[in-house]
Amino acid sequence: MKRNIITIDRDTCNGCGQCIPNCPEGAIQIIDGKAHLISDLFCDGLGACIGTCPVGAITIEEREAEAYDELKVMVNIVKGGPGVIRAHLAHLKDHGQEEYYNQALEYLRQNKIPIPEQAVTQHEQPPAAGGCPGMKTLFRERPQTPESTAADSGTGDETGTRPSALRQWPIQLHLVNPQAPYFADADLVVAADCVAFTLNGFHERYLAGRTLIIFCPKLDNAREIYTDKLAEIFKHNTIRSITTIRMEVPCCAGTRTIVEAALQKAEKQIPRREAIISLEGTIQCEEEQ
């Protein structure tokens, strides 16, 4: 059958193993210093491992593969103990895999294995051993209050009590999962790293109700990786709009260039606009692309 499944670029993989704790299904192992997909049966194709790869060696492709088998996966899962079981259930639940989730619960019941707390979401679970908490997917709906939706007022927040408009974690392009739930029907903001530090009111003007990705087009030596990952996001999700925000310095124009290259690679046309921020922290221009 043809389905989505991960692929690992052996030339890019550095064998760090950061993908393994985020694959409780046990589909990935380090062999001869490189990560390998050991069985199609164990890979659900949801890509939880993607955001944890620091070099972008893991992507999702559609190809002929054996059907994912939840019951065979559960044989491996239970060997890891309650923490791994809990992480796997949360993974299925967060991705809307109700059929697999119910199969997993039935397996636990039939084998008289205690079922961990079921009403858990991925951002509430403790990190798997060896995993980085900063790579765990988090998504929350922010209340649409006047403070969170108002245009940039130009005033500061000395008390630190003004609500954040950020709805998801992580935000750095190296770390995001292209199939994370916060990309579904998203209005996407792709911002250069310095923008939010320079523009007072960034949250209110650009971030409220949107999904954020950040990177530095000059210092991050990852243009091809960033292009490929953005292309995956554009290809596998319905992105309603893209707002590119960059600084006025010439090197920051790479923010737009990478987005354009990713759109071309994904063969997608998505409404876009760009904002350019001056070094003084003002909006130099905003224009449709």
d(CA 94, CA 238): 18
Structure tokens at 270: 């998505």
Least-confidence region, from 72-81, 149-158, 201-210: 149-158
pTM over cut 0.75: no
Are 266 and 234 a contacting pair, CB within 8 Å? yes
pLDDT value of residue 133: 56
**Residue 264: half-sphere exposure toward Cβ, Cα within 13 Å:** 7
pLDDT of 97 higher than 90 = no
Please name every residue paired with 239 in a beta bridge, in sequence order, or none if there are none.
186
- Is 83 a residue whose pLDDT tops 80? no
Q: Answer positive or negative: Cα dihedral of 183, 184, 190, 196.
A: negative
Geometric angle at alpha carbon 147, from 196 and 183, rounded to 5°: 55
The pLDDT value given to residue 135? 56
Enumerate the domain spans of the chain: 2-124, 137-288
112-169 pLDDT, tens digit per residue, is 888 876 434 433 344 444 445 555 667 776 655 434 444 444 444 454 567 789 988 8
Q: What percent of the chain has pLDDT over 90?
A: 35
Q: What is the mean pLDDT of residues 251-280?
A: 95
According to DSSP, the residues that pair with 175 across neighbouring strands are none
Please compute the mean of the pLDDT values over residues 89-106 and round it to a whole number.
79
Per-chain mean pLDDT for the chain:
82
Residue 170 CA from chain centroid, whole number: 7
Q: Are 38 and 27 in contact (CB under 8 A)?
A: yes
Confidence at residue 215, expressed as pLDDT on a 0 to 100 scale: 95
Q: How far apart are CA 84 and CA 26, in angstroms?
A: 10
Pairing of strands 34-37, 28-31: antiparallel
Of 3.40.718.10, 3.30.360.10, 1.20.1090.10, 3.30.70.20, the CATH number of 2-124 is 3.30.70.20
Query: Rounded CA gap, 6 and 36, in Å?
Result: 10
Closest to 68 (Cα-Cα) out of 99, 114, 112, 110:
99
Q: Using a pLDDT cut of 70, give the percent of the chain over it.
A: 84
